Structure formats: C-alpha cells, structure tokens
C-alpha cells in the first residue's frame, strides 16, 4: 500500500523529515519475527506526506494471533522480509525513525536486517521515541500508546494494526510538535537520519506488497466453494485416468471438513497441472459427495450428524446444497452405489487407529498437553512429523511452522483443531461419527485383484484358487507349490542332506540377525521417514518375523539345536579353560573392577608377562565367537536396539537373557558381551557406542544447531531428532551428559548462575524478578548467592528494582533511583515529586517512599513539591553526641557494634553519620583509611548514610562470633581499627551496672561510679546532672536506656 499527500513544511530548513514506524511481531525477543510493518512519512512539521505498509511472511508459526489478528492464512501471499528489505530501507533512509517505544521497533527491525547480513546498528542515535516525549509533555497520561492518544484527544480506529498504529503515532508526533516544539527539538539534539545501505539490499525490492485488507486476505472463501472460480472454464475433460492424483489430494485435504488457504492452493495447482477445468472439478466433487452419501447409508440410516457433515462438505466443495440433499433423501436416489466386489474398498478405508502417528503445532484453543494426553489415551502415537505420520493438527492450518512445512513436504495432511476433534471422536467412539473421505477414493476405483479373481474364476483349467485373506499364509502357499513341483526329485539323498545343511545354516544366520534386529530396524526406518508401501510389511511377513524372534518358537529351537545358544557357547568356552584361564577370564577380562596383572600373577604363581600371554591367547580365541553364530546375532541385536545410546534396562527388556548371570563367569550376560565387543561400553546404566564420553559428545553435536543464543533447546525437539523415543529417557540421558533439564527445556550452558538465569529468561521472553528466575531455574544455591551471581555477566541487565532481562533485548537499564531521577531532572530542569513517583513506581517497581527519599538527598532537593538539582553541595550536619551507639573511648568517638551473621558473611554496614561528620567527606566520594590489613573503604552518600566495607576477615582473625561486641574506631580519619569490646552479660535488672556495660564501660557495684562512666561515654562531664544524661539518651532515641533511667531516677 502506497499513498501520497502533499503539504508545505513549515519547520526550519535542513532538518530531517520523519519516518513514523510501527511493526507487529510474533513476540518480543530478537528471535521473533516481523509480521507487519508500516511507515508513515511526515515533514518536519509533522504533516503526513506518504504511507507504506505490508504484511510480512515470517515462515514460522504465529503464537499471538489474538493480539494483532494476523494468522497464517493472511500471510500465504505476503512477501518475506528479504523480499521487501530494500524497499523498506529506502522508506526509512534519510529520515528520523519515529515510533512509540522506539527501542522495541528498532531492535526487531535491526534483527531482521542482521539476518540478511547487515552488520552494525543502523538505528543507533537515529530515532525519536514518542513514549519518551509523552513522559515530558503529557506526564500524567501513562506510557502506553493508547493512553497517550487518549490524553491528546486522538482516536486510533485500528489499534494493533501496523498502519493504524503508525498513523496514530504520526498524529501524536504532530500534536507534540504543536504544543512543545522546543521539547521535541531538545529530544532531537544529536539524533541523525537513518542511513541504510539500500544498494546492498537491492534484491529485496519491487516485491508485491500485501497490506492488511479484507479483500486480499485469501484468494477465495474456503467456506462456500467460490475458490473454484480460480479454475479455468471450458477446459476439455481430462478423463478418469488423469484425475487420481487430484482425488488423492482431495481425500486428504477434506479430512477435517475444512479447506485452508494452503489446501485450496494445492488443489488449484494440482487441477491446473492435470488440465482439470472448473466444470470437471465440480463433477468430481459431486461424485465425491455422492460416495459420502453411499457410505452414510451403509448401515441403513443417516444420522443428523452425518447429514450435516455431508452438507458441509458439499458447501466447501461448491456442490449445490439441493444436490447433497437429494443424495441424502434415500438409498434409492444413489443409483450407482457399489455392491459385492465393487464395494471391497469401502470397508478398507483409513481412519485414525491405535498406533497412528499424530503431531500438534501452534497454540491450540484447548491446551496442547490436553490434546496430547487425550490422543495418547486413545492409543495414538504423539510425536514429531515423519513420513509415516497420519496427520498434523495445527492451530492454524496455514501455519508456516517448521512442523507444518515439513508435513506438507512429506504429504502429511494438515488438519484444524476442530477437524482433529472429529477424527479423534470417531476413534474414541468406535467408528461413529463422520466418514473418512479417503474411503471414498477406494470405493470409486477398480480393484485390480477383483479382475484377476474374476478371470481365474471364469477359467476351467481345474486348478484350485490360491487361498486368500487371513488364511493366505506361507504354509498354504508352500502346500500348493509342493503339489505342483518337488525340487528334490532326482537328487541323491546325501547330496541333498549336505546342501540342505549348508542352506539351513545360511538361512538360520540371516533369520537370526533379522529376528534380533527387525524391531529396531523398523523404528529406525520410521524415524528417518522411510517406509514401505503403506508403511507396513505384509501380514504374513510380520507373522514370520514374530515367529522367528520367539525364543520358544520352532525356528529358535531348531537353530539352537544346530548352532547352540549364547549360553551354550559361553558354557563350552568356560568348560574348555583350565583354572588359571578361568581366573583371568572372570577377574580381569569380565570383571568391572579388573584385577591387575600383578594380582593375578600372585594368585596363579605366574609372572606378569606369563599372565599377559595367557590373556592374549584367550582374547584371540574368543574373537571368533563374536564374529558369527548366536553371540554375533545377540551383539547385532544389542547394536540395533541401543546404537548410539540406550538404557541397559531397555536393552535387557528386549533381550531378557542379558540380565541372567552365567555359571562360572559370575557376571550377567551383558557384562560378558561388553568385554567381548569393543564397539560398545555399558557405563552408569547406559549402553553407549563406543563409550559414554563419545556418545555424550555426539549429543552435544546434535544439540548445537538446535539451541538459542543462551544455549536452550526444547526437549521435544531433541526427542524428535534423537534415536531415543521416550522423553523420560531423553531427559535422563541429557542429565547424564551434564546438561541441566528444567521443565520442557534443556540448558546446555548451565555451569554458572548467570548462564542458568539467561536460559530461563530466553524461554520466558520477557523480564522476570529474581524470585521468578530462581524458582524457574530449579536452583540449589541460596537465593542470596543467586541474586549476587546475576551481576557477574554482561549477558544480563537489571531493568527494574527487582527485574532482570537479557542484554540483547536492548531494554532501558535500571541504574538506580538516583540516576533515573537525574535523567529526568536534567531533561526538564525540574520535575514534580508526584510525577516522578507515578513514573518510576510504574516502570521500575520502586517504592514511592524510596523516590521521595532519593529526591531529597545528595544532588537533589525538594522545594514546594518540585525536585531540582541542589544549588549548594550537601553537607553532613550530624553530631556524634546525638548518634546512638557512639561513645567516647580513648578521647575519640567510637562505634559500639554487636556482630550479626551479615557481618560474618561479609556484608558492609552503616555507622552513624555523626562518626563521619568531622572527616570532611564529600557526597558519594569514598575514602580509603589505612588499617592493619591495608586500607579500608568508608563513604557518605546513597540515601544519606555512612557506609563501611566488609570486616569479615578481621572478625575471623579475632575469633569473634555472632552476638559478640566490637569497637569501630576511625581515629578521626587517620586510621581504621576493629577491637573487641566487653561482652554484654549483665541483666537490665542490675540497674546502673547494666547501663555502664550498655555504653561499653566495665560495670562496678557502686552506682555513682557506673553513672560517671556513662556520662563520660556520652561526652559529658563525670559529674553531669542526671537530667543531662537522660536528655542525651532521649536525643539518641535509645529507648532501652531511657526506660531504665526513668524507672531508676523518676
């Protein structure tokens, strides 16, 4: 969409015009994609001169349609970002980028350009944010676009549509230029015009735009059959031989009784390729509906559900409702209903059956875990898309998600949520409900086997018919063959015996391998998306393979009698060894904690070298056992079921004999075979090829392309690409590999607190509180350690008083309340306290009291409810006489402090301002005082308190514990020291003795001496009147001392 309006600019010459932008996206992270972009050009006075907008196809699923109303069907014909990048760059270049919350729009567009190879940050210092302007010009309105528009009296009729929001933002910008041009110019100071390399993005130019309008959302209405008008009229009939492909496609697209835009496109493309015109398509559709009516009447009655179902299909396919109604009136109206042999395909139709693979994609109306649980309960196999999948259930059938794209490539039907509900209902209700349209295709085509049967039935050569159906087994076929011809006729018995023996050995070897491996081979084939015809082996072959793998069956019995079992082979090997060889086999070759050569030498009376020679000979003798025969078969079976990794429990479930202990060897069979075969190792309950470290490394290679920038991958994606088919096993294996599995995701970089926090944030896609991140990360460390650890990485940034985000999200960093106040005061000169409180509490989660406190200390002062920069430096006017905890000691004011667990843990602490008032400290300017361990930091600032660094090391060296008392002495700014104080042991009931101890003096029995010591500690004369002593404690707000003295003296 591209329109122009001409106005005469009235702004100063030389100023850059504006490009007002809005984007709709799939989410808020840099991994999300742009779905729609709009650019409104405006002159320097805000007059709109041009508009440009288009939907953008992200080639991925859209999880947030509810917000912006854009679904996959709206984007089928939309260009990709690469298609329009050059045109968009031209729309933006030479102009100041304007948006409401411009940091978000520039970040998402920057990420899109970066995917095309554009380096650098094209929008740095090139944008103006109307959200920030709102804070300056309409501070009471709130930060959201809707709130700002309401405050400015502007109406946005198309909110959450890119062009609607962009036009509204452009009108808001013009409003701000009108009421506060000076403020806007101040915000524009240092802002440049966007300069994008249009020439480098030349391939992304000239694409057909797809603005969001109702008439271009889809090529035709899928609900009323008008899409047939896209097919050419007057095309000669192609004939039945050319329509099978179209009918196949029609069958799968109508599974859910709906046609998505993709499915309409598939049908129209198929019809065009096959030369099927509009009229012939209508004829085929009518025949399709006719066959549905046939099947509906198959049980002698048409239910209301079936009737509504068929009328709906007729409507979607463009078949007149009257025709559908006529077909449903009675069975007699359907003249060509197949009967007898012609109805053979009707009963062979395909519906959902237990074991069918189904996959879900998108944000469904009913939560996916509910659908998956229900499908699993019905016996369906829920997992990723593969060639043998029966269908993909999509929240949006036109989704461009990876699963939907893969399904279309493999020809797997994509059905809606409601369509799946219908099909699942059929399965759960034993076949009741709607009719599978693929059944229709079977009933409308000739069955070659019928013609062959009819031909044979009409012959009179006297040969019996070949058995058919379930009884057409290999035994029946072989019986017929013997009746015709015996291949052994005329062959000498001894020659036949030799040949049969060799043939039996060959066949037994092949069948033994297949019997051990066919189950896992089938799984591997299905996992790779490869299948035989219809994805299944013939029933009699399945039966033969089952019998071949039955340990108690005739084949295994015959093979065992001729070749022996694994247990027989091991028993013969063991019995053929002497005592020394048995000891070496058991204690060194097979044992998990192998004996050394020296230990075996002492046990056998042989030298180390001789033990080595015997061991070598034994190994050479055992190798042939693993190369052929039953041991080789079992090893092949282990490989087939475990490669590259599987649990020992899973393998022993398939081959129970592996768990059985072998006589003499004193070890289970799996342990013996592990020693036989160097290709795998059993470690920590895992069967790994060739060993656990290598298997773990391969898993790392598998995960590498799947993880996001924070090293996170969904466990479901790992399961889809893994050789393991059980999610619980996959999770345990990932933990064994050293990864952190949390919820539905695996963290590949979980070695530090910041890495785990970044992983959690990348999954959430939005800022989180420390408590939320801590809970989501399943942390074992303390919450305090976790909180402190967040500061140790540049990948994380604080965006609120208790909110953290990923740095790559490029959000505004929370740098402290004082800094936030400074930014706003500096931008405007002065700010009302109430405005600051409203903005900062809403945006950063700080408390109103904290804003008031920071606004009145340090560099700021409050006068008449307005915050300004302080004209004169702040001074520390506190006095030590009025500071609780400060007492005169050795002629200096010292701080008597009780040690807490925070001191012992290493936290800094505060001291009374009266202690630092005479040191000449500047606000927030730290000073390092000399001390016994080097220097010690002290600072006056923050919210007007004096702070001291950690004294943990000093306390530990002094042996001080929690509850002990110490003296903090600054030596009048010359030195920093910590010394023990007398312990507090006297009860308050002791009167003045307790009070003396309270101020750090040594208590005595004489009250007058205790009182004199207290007076001196308070900076008074020893004979100071009682009223002065009491008054000083009151000024200090020392309630304990005041309560005691009032009881004693008043």
The pLDDT score that the predictor gives to residue 256 is 57
Residue 127 pLDDT > 90, yes or no?
yes
Q: Which residues contact 190 (CB under 8 A, 6 or more apart)?
A: 125
Choice between 748 and 874, residue whose per-residue pLDDT is larger:
748
Enter the tokens of residue 999: 């101020």
* Mean pLDDT lowest among 519-533, 795-809, 1035-1049: 519-533
For 920-1000, strand residue ranges (E) read: 927-931, 934-941, 945-948, 965-969, 977-980
CA distance 734 to 718: 10
Strand partners, 48: 42
Closest-CA residue to 391 (of 335, 436, 453, 430): 436
At residue 506 the predicted structure's pLDDT band, cuts being 50, 70 and 90, is low
Residue 130 pLDDT > 80, yes or no?
yes
Residue 791 pLDDT > 80, yes or no?
yes
The reply to whether 566-690 shares the fold of 2-215 is no
Q: How far is CA 807 from CA 762, 783, 804, 819, in A?
A: 11, 22, 9, 19
Q: Which CATH number fits domain 566-690: 1.10.10.10, 1.20.1050.10, 1.25.40.10, 3.40.50.1000?
A: 1.10.10.10
Whether residue 682 contacts residue 669, with contact meaning beta carbons closer than 8 Å, is answered with no
Average pLDDT, the chain: 78
671-697 confidence digits (pLDDT tens):
888 887 777 888 889 988 888 888 888
**20: three-class secondary structure by DSSP:** strand
Choice between 782 and 248, residue whose per-residue pLDDT is larger:
782
Locate tokens 């210092």: which residue? 125
Residue 1024 pLDDT > 90, yes or no?
yes
Quote the DSSP letter at residue 115.
H
SS3 readout for 358-415: EEEECCCCCCHHHHHHHHHHCCCEECCCCCCCCEEEECCCCCCCHHHHHHHHHCCCEE
At residue 14 the predicted structure's pLDDT band, cuts being 50, 70 and 90, is low
Residue 143 pLDDT > 70, yes or no?
no
* Percent above pLDDT 70 for the chain: 76
The pLDDT score that the predictor gives to residue 899 is 95
Enter the tokens of residue 760: 């959690």
Domain 880-980 sits in CATH at 2.40.330.10
Residue 554 pLDDT > 60, yes or no?
yes
686-688 and 740-742 beta bridge pairing: unpaired
Enter the tokens of residue 660: 């059985």
What average pLDDT score do residues 261-274 get?
Answer: 73
Quote the DSSP letter at residue 434.
S
Whether residue 399 contacts residue 72, with contact meaning beta carbons closer than 8 Å, is answered with yes
Q: What pTM did the predictor assign?
A: 0.40
At residue 456 the predicted structure's pLDDT band, cuts being 50, 70 and 90, is very low
At residue 219 the predicted structure's pLDDT band, cuts being 50, 70 and 90, is very low
Closest-CA residue to 187 (of 178, 198, 177): 177
The pLDDT score that the predictor gives to residue 92 is 94
The pLDDT score that the predictor gives to residue 562 is 63
Task: Dihedral sign for Cα 718, 719, 723, 726, please.
Answer: positive
CA distance 1026 to 1037: 17
How remote is the C-alpha of 494 from its chain's centroid? 69
Closest-CA residue to 404 (of 225, 580, 262): 262
724-767 confidence digits (pLDDT tens):
888 999 999 999 999 999 999 999 988 888 999 999 999 999 99
Quote the DSSP letter at residue 589.
I
Closest-CA residue to 950 (of 894, 921, 892, 910): 910
345-393 confidence digits (pLDDT tens):
222 344 788 888 999 888 776 677 778 888 888 888 888 888 888 888 8
CA distance 132 to 820: 13
R_g (Cα) of the chain, nearest Å: 42
At residue 979 the predicted structure's pLDDT band, cuts being 50, 70 and 90, is very high
The pLDDT score that the predictor gives to residue 883 is 92
Choice between 492 and 611, residue whose per-residue pLDDT is larger:
611
What average pLDDT score do residues 970-994 get?
Answer: 90
What average pLDDT score do residues 38-52 get?
Answer: 95
Class of CATH domain 219-443: alpha beta
**865: three-class secondary structure by DSSP:** coil
The pLDDT score that the predictor gives to residue 432 is 38
Residue 519 pLDDT > 80, yes or no?
no
Choice between 528 and 836, residue whose per-residue pLDDT is larger:
836
**344: three-class secondary structure by DSSP:** helix
The pLDDT score that the predictor gives to residue 966 is 96
Residue 199 pLDDT > 80, yes or no?
no
CA distance 639 to 689: 8
CA atoms within 13 A on the CB side of 259: 28
Closest-CA residue to 672 (of 646, 703, 634): 634
Choice between 482 and 666, residue whose per-residue pLDDT is larger:
666
What's the residue count for the chain?
Answer: 1050
Closest-CA residue to 690 (of 632, 651, 625, 644): 644
- Largest separation between any pair of C-alpha atoms in the chain: 143
Residue 232 pLDDT > 70, yes or no?
no
Residue 41 pLDDT > 50, yes or no?
yes
What average pLDDT score do residues 940-948 get?
Answer: 86
Quote the DSSP letter at residue 587.
I
Closest-CA residue to 1032 (of 1044, 1022, 1020): 1020
Closest-CA residue to 76 (of 405, 406, 386): 405
At residue 492 the predicted structure's pLDDT band, cuts being 50, 70 and 90, is very low
Residue 1027 pLDDT > 90, yes or no?
yes
949-970 confidence digits (pLDDT tens):
999 999 999 999 999 999 999 9
Q: Which residues contact 184 (CB under 8 A, 6 or more apart)?
A: 128, 133, 176, 177
Annotate 89-102 with b (16+ C-beta within 10 A) or e (fewer): bbbbbebbbbbbbb
The pLDDT score that the predictor gives to residue 533 is 36
The pLDDT score that the predictor gives to residue 958 is 93
| Element holding 894 (H helix, E strand) | strand 892-898
Whether residue 566 contacts residue 630, with contact meaning beta carbons closer than 8 Å, is answered with yes
Choice between 406 and 235, residue whose per-residue pLDDT is larger:
406
The architecture in CATH of the region 2-215 reads 2-Layer Sandwich (3.30)
The pLDDT score that the predictor gives to residue 532 is 39
CA distance 727 to 1007: 78
Domain definitions of the chain by residue range:
2-215, 219-443, 498-563, 566-690, 694-809, 817-869, 880-980, 988-1049
What average pLDDT score do residues 25-39 get?
Answer: 84
640-675 confidence digits (pLDDT tens):
888 888 999 988 888 888 888 888 888 898 888 888
The pLDDT score that the predictor gives to residue 276 is 74
**249: three-class secondary structure by DSSP:** helix
């Amino acid at each position: 969409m591209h329109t122009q309006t001409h106005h005469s600019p009235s702004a100063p010459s030389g100023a850059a015009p504006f490009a007002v932008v809005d984007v709709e996206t799939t989410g808020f992270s840099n991994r999300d994609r742009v779905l729609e972009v709009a650019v409104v050009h405006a002159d320097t006075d805000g007059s709109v001169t041009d508009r440009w907008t288009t939907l953008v196809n992200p080639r991925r699923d859209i999880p947030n349609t509810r917000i912006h109303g854009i679904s996959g069907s709206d984007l089928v014909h939309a260009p990709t970002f690469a298609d329009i990048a050059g045109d968009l760059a031209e729309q933006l270049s030479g102009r100041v980028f304007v948006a409401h919350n411009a940091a978000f729009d520039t970040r998402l567009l920057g990420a899109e350009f970066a995917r095309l190879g554009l380096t650098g940050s094209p929008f740095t210092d090139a944008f103006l944010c109307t959200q920030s302007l709102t804070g300056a010009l309409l501070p009471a309105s709130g930060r959201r676009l809707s709130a700002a528009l309401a405050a400015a009296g502007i109406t946005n009729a198309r909110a959450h549509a890119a062009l609607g929001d962009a036009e509204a933002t452009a009108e808001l910008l013009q409003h701000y230029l009108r009421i506060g041009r000076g403020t806007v110019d101040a915000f524009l100071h240092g802002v440049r015009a966007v300069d994008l390399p249009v020439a480098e993005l030349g391939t992304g130019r000239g694409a057909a735009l797809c603005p969001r309008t109702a008439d271009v959302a889809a090529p035709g209405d899928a609900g009323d059959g008008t899409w047939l008008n896209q097919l050419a009229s007057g095309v000669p009939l192609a004939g039945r031989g050319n329509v099978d492909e179209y009918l196949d496609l029609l069958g799968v697209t109508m599974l859910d009784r709906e046609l998505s835009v993709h499915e309409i496109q598939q049908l129209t493309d198929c019809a065009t390729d096959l030369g099927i015109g509009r009229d012939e398509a209508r004829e085929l559709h009518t025949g399709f509906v006719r066959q549905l009516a046939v099947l509906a009447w198959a049980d002698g009655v048409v239910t209301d559900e079936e009737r509504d179902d068929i009328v709906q299909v007729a409507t979607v396919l463009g078949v007149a409702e009257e025709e559908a109604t006529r077909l449903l009136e009675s069975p007699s109206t359907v003249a060509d209903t197949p009967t007898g042999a012609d109805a053979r395909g009707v009963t062979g139709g395909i519906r959902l059956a237990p074991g069918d693979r189904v996959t879900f994609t998108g944000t469904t109306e009913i939560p996916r875990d509910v659908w998956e649980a229900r499908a699993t309960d019905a016996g369906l196999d829920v997992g990723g898309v593969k060639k043998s999948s029966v269908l993909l259930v999509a929240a949006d059938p036109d989704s461009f998600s990876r699963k939907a794209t893969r399904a279309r490539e493999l020809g797997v039907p994509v059905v809606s949520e409601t369509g799946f509900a219908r099909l699942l209902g059929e399965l759960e209700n034993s076949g009741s409900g709607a009719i599978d349209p693929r059944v229709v295709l079977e009933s409308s085509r000739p069955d070659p086997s019928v013609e062959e049967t009819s031909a044979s039935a009409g012959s009179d050569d006297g040969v019996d018919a070949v058995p058919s159906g379930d009884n057409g087994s290999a035994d029946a076929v072989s019986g017929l063959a013997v009746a015709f011809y015996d291949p052994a006729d005329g062959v000498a018995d001894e020659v036949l015996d030799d040949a049969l023996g060799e043939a039996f050995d060959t066949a037994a070897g092949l069948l033994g391998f297949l019997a051990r491996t066919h189950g896992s081979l089938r799984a591997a084939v299905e996992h790779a998306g490869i299948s035989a015809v219809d994805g299944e082996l013939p029933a009699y072959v399945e039966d033969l393979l089952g019998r071949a793998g039955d340990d108690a069956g005739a084949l295994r019995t015959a093979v065992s009698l001729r070749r022996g079992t694994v247990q027989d082979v091991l028993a013969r090997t063991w019995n053929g060894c002497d005592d020394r060889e048995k000891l070496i086999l058991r204690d060194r070759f097979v044992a998990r904690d192998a004996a050394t050569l020296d230990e075996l030498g002492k046990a056998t009376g042989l030298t180390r070298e001789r033990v080595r020679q015997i061991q070598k000979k034994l190994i050479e003798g055992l190798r042939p056992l693993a190369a052929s025969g039953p041991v080789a078969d079992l090893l092949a079976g282990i490989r087939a079921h475990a490669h590259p990794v599987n649990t020992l429990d899973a393998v022993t479930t398939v081959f129970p004999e592996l768990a059985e202990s072998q006589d003499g060897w004193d070890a289970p069979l799996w342990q013996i075979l592990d020693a036989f075969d160097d290709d795998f190792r059993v470690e920590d309950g895992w069967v790994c090829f060739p060993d656990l470290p290598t298997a773990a490394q391969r898993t790392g290679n598998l995960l590498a392309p799947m993880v996001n920038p924070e090293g996170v991958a969904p466990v479901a994606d790992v399961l889809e690409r893994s050789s393991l088919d059980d999610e619980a096993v996959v999770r345990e294996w990932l933990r064994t590999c050293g990864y952190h599995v949390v919820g539905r995701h695996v963290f590949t970089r979980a070695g530090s607190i910041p890495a785990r926090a970044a992983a959690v944030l990348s999954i959430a896609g939005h800022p989180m509180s420390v408590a939320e991140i801590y809970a989501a990360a399943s942390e074992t460390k303390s919450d305090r350690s976790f909180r402190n650890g967040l500061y140790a990485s540049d990948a994380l940034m604080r965006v609120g008083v208790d909110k953290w985000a990923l740095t790559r999200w490029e959000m505004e960093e929370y740098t402290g309340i004082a800094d936030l106040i400074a930014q706003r005061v500096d931008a405007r000169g002065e700010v009302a306290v109430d405005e600051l409180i409203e903005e900062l509490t809403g945006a950063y989660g700080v408390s109103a009291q904290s804003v008031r406190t920071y606004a009145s200390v340090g560099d700021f002062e409050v006068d008449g409810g307005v915050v300004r920069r302080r004209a004169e430096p702040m001074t520390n006017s506190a006095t030590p006489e009025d500071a609780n905890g400060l007492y005169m000691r050795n002629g200096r004011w010292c701080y008597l402090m009780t040690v807490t667990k925070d001191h012992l843990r290493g936290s800094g602490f505060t001291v009374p301002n009266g202690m630092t008032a005479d040191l000449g400290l500047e606000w927030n300017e730290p000073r390092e005082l000399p001390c016994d361990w080097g220097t010690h930091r002290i600072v006056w600032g923050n919210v007007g308190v004096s702070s001291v660094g950690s004294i943990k090391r000093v306390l530990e060296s002094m042996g001080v514990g929690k509850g002990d008392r110490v003296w903090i002495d600054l030596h009048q700014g010359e030195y920093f020291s910590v010394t023990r104080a007398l312990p507090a042991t006297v009860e308050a009931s002791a009167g003045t003795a307790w009070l003396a101890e309270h101020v750090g003096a040594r208590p005595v029995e004489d009250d007058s001496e205790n009182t004199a010591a207290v007076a001196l500690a308070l900076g008074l004369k020893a004979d100071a009147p009682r009223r002065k002593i009491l008054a000083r404690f009151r000024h200090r707000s020392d309630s304990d001392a005041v309560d005691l003295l009032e009881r004693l003296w008043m």
